[in-house]
Structure 1
Amino acid sequence: MLDSLFTWLLLPVGLAFGWALGRKSAAGQVPPEPQRTIQPEQLGGLLTQLASDDPDQAIAALTQVAEIDESTVELHMTLGNLFRKRGEMDRALRIHEALLARPGLDADTRAQVRRELAYDFLRAGVMDHAEEQFEQLVSDGYYVGESLDQIRIIFEQGRDWEHAIAAARRLEGAQGESRRALIAQYACEMADEALRAKDVEQALRQVRRAIDEDTDCVRAYLQLGAIEEGRERYAAAAQAYLRAFQLDQRFLPDVIEPLFRCSQKTGSEEGYLQFLADAKEISSSSLPYVAEARLLADEGMDPLDRLAQGLEVRPSRAVLAEFLEVLEKQPGVIAAGLDKPAASLRQALRRLMESTPRYQCSNCGFSPRQQFWQCPSCKRWGSITPIDEAMRLPGA
């Protein structure tokens, strides 16, 4: 097996030397002999294939070939890419910069080299140089969509949201696809930054900007609800929270408690009860049963039947934990000495819920305990939503 492996590793090198000697023979440096040669692009392809299995062997082979024929752009580009793949950024940059400085490159080849150099700078973390190379590609009319998207990502990573928005609009114009949902997320990021700086007016402006860009932006309405609640404008806050729920019922766990607080402040408990009734109809969540049970308990009524109903039609850990908490306080259960086992079971269930992810990315499945509006795993915006099964009402 090893003999076979070494044979495959040496084959491209032998072909390369054959090709190089063929060139020298044509120049009169070696007596002409009939032989088959291989074209540079074919050799590059072979070495690229080899690189996927053994980059070290590919680099060794390619370095020897590049020394024999310094004029072969394709081979040098492949070598530079292999150095980037291994993280040897100084060597990758030297190769691609030297290629770009060569006179006489045709426009297509120059653009290809510039693209590789841009990705070298990205990998090296030299973002301003990477941006400069991508901008030049856009100016030259090569890799326009890809380059504009990389420029957008550079600004996004630097949290330069205004420039990221400008890049998104340029990308929108180049590709003819709307980026308004993405721009809305950038505006929401600026709203969060304004809130951390305690600039509520700026935060409101950015939230409204987000809604203007994307009227279906759940995040913007959740932010608007929180801002209005903080300003003690409870009716306006409730309206924003309701809109978020209407746009995406999966966010019920994030709005059910804020809506309850707003209903208490405005004296609209009946409206909250109607919301819970509607939520049971249009959402698969079990949380409305928990909320109804707590309202019954606050009014001095026994919520056990409501929780039992929830377990029957929407079984979940949230309902079961609430059911056990009510059950352990029942006189008959206490008399039978079953209150302590019920409490132990409830506490174990609560600990399990507290260690369970509360959110999940619909794109890649990443499951964090807290909300991320850009998935840390797949980098998709707005793809992480609450998991109802793992949730319980805040303050429980």
Structure 2
Amino acid sequence: MLDSLFPWLLVPLGLALGWALGRRQSLAATAPAAVLNPEQIGGLLRQLASDDPDQAIAALTQVTQLDESAIELHLQLGNLFRKRGEVDRALRVHETLLARPNLSPAVQGQVRRELAYDYMRAGIMDHAEQQFERLISDGHYVAESLDQIRQIAEQIHDWRAAIAAARRLEAAQGESKRALIAQYWCELAEEARRAKKAEEALQLAQRGTEEDADCVRAHLLLGGLQEAAGDKPAAAKSYLRAFALDARYLPDLLEPLYRCLLGSGDSETYLQFLKDAKEISASSLPFIAEARLLADEGIDPLDHLAQGLEVRPSRAVLAQFLEVLEKQPNVIAAGLDKPAASLRLALRRLMESAPRYQCSHCGFSPRQQFWQCPSCKRWGSIAPIDEAMRLPG
């Protein structure tokens, strides 16, 4: 696609060349022979249009006198190559320009910045980071460079380096990065959990909650680790804290809270949670959870589910209602149990195919949780959606 668009990318370069030509014509009396003349500029454009970029690079590198317009031509050409995906040529242009003597510190910073992005595009992250660090030490593009170093650390999953970069960025910008740093602590905790280092994972998840007390992910993660360690009361407390921070996570919390609170004999707290959930959230899932409790006690939950359908109709409640209905003796006697089962299975398939999460920033809708959106790269922007369409557990 970029190949077909490349001729159009020549337009801004052509404008820059035209501007440079005007400057050079006004300086013709004093310009040395090595400066590009109108014929050479026209040839440069023809070489680019005819897909002979190496000759275009050679034409620029032969210029011995670099004024503002010549530097701009180098940068324009290098950027065009990078946009086209020809990173090797972009690197050659920018590296050649950076090696020129007598560049001002400001121009060096501008070229070094472009070179760093060339390295990133090429996947040579250590070289890119070196260029960004040099920019920071020289006082050029400091906040931007720190943020790019942070993103590089993210890409290679060096979460401690990401924490360090985020703290440096926080100091440079004077803006809190605690919410972002908490996500990095959670990533470290997840790594420790996968490595079966339970105690370390607990400590790292706790660091996440300490870094940002409002981090839903940190409390959910801490609750899961506490539950795995057998501390159900502590896990329930963490889960309840997560719900208090963001009621959208109700679908992910119902089953863990059921296990922890009822498993530790605290049914009163669970019932209060369901009552609060019905007031705070528009979800119909608390009705399903209450029906489950009735069934656990040997009470037919059909009437309660019917009430749920009246108050908060949803496919999830209807599916649960049909599951109970098809087991009723009078329904079986009337031969309606099979149609009810067929409708329930159809509803289940609809719910299973629907997205379960959505990014509040870009709208990306996966079926599993991503704490960093794969689409827009935002952290903590994906949450459960339309929880009434799905069942807990």
User: TM-score normalised by the shorter chain: which range applies?
Assistant: 0.7 to 0.9
Note if contact 1:13-1:65 (Cα within 8 Å) is conserved in structure 2.
Answer: no
Q: What is the aligned counterpart of 2:60 among 59, 62, 66? A: 66
Matched-pair identity in %: 64
CA distance in structure 2 between the aligned counterparts of 1:273 and 1:16, rounded to whole angstroms = 74
Please identify, of 58-67 and 365-374, the stretch whose mean Cα deviation from structure 2 is larger. 58-67
Q: Which amino acid aligns with 1:95?
A: V
* SS at structure 2 position matched to 1:26: coil
CA spacing shift, 1:305–1:294, aligned 2, 3 Å:
same
CA distance in structure 1 between the aligned counterparts of 2:158 and 2:176, rounded to whole angstroms = 20
* SS at structure 2 position matched to 1:360: strand
Q: How does 1:1-396 map to 2 (within 5 A)?
A: 12=15, 15=18, 19=22, 22=25, 25-27=28-30, 56=49, 66=60, 69=63, 71=66, 72-387=70-385, 388-394=387-393
Deviations 1:272-322 (A, max 9, x none): 112111111111111100011111122221211211121122222211110
CA distance in structure 2 between the aligned counterparts of 1:9 and 1:141, rounded to whole angstroms = 29
Task: State the 1:224 CA deviation.
Answer: 1.2
CA distance in structure 1 between the aligned counterparts of 2:288 and 2:254, rounded to whole angstroms = 11
CA spacing shift, 1:131–1:302, aligned 2, 3 Å:
same
Task: State the 1:21 CA deviation.
Answer: 7.1
CA distance in structure 2 between the aligned counterparts of 1:336 and 1:303, rounded to whole angstroms = 20
Please identify, of 116-125 and 347-356, the stretch whose mean Cα deviation from structure 2 is larger. 347-356
Alignment RMSD: 2.8
Deviations 1:125-171 (A, max 9, x none): 00000000001111111111100000000111111111110100000
* SS at structure 2 position matched to 1:385: strand
CA distance in structure 1 between the aligned counterparts of 2:76 and 2:85, rounded to whole angstroms = 14
Structure 1: tracts of 5 or more residues without a match: 31-36
Task: State the 1:270 CA deviation.
Answer: 2.2
Deviations 1:11-46 (A, max 9, x none): 75994795487368424899xxxxxx99xxxx9xxx
CA distance in structure 1 between the aligned counterparts of 2:17 and 2:378, rounded to whole angstroms = 46
Note if contact 2:262-2:270 (Cα within 8 Å) is conserved in structure 1.
Answer: no
* SS at structure 2 position matched to 1:271: helix
Note if contact 1:357-1:390 (Cα within 8 Å) is conserved in structure 2.
Answer: no
Structure 2: tracts of 5 or more residues without a match: 1-7
Q: Which amino acid aligns with 2:390?
A: M
Deviations 1:205-244 (A, max 9, x none): 1111111110011111111111111111111111111111
* SS at structure 1 position matched to 2:368: coil
Note if contact 2:61-2:96 (Cα within 8 Å) is conserved in structure 1.
Answer: no
CA distance in structure 2 between the aligned counterparts of 1:28 and 1:183, rounded to whole angstroms = 54
**Normalising by structure 2, what TM-score?**
0.87
Task: State the 1:334 CA deviation.
Answer: 2.0
CA spacing shift, 1:138–1:9, aligned 2, 3 Å:
closer
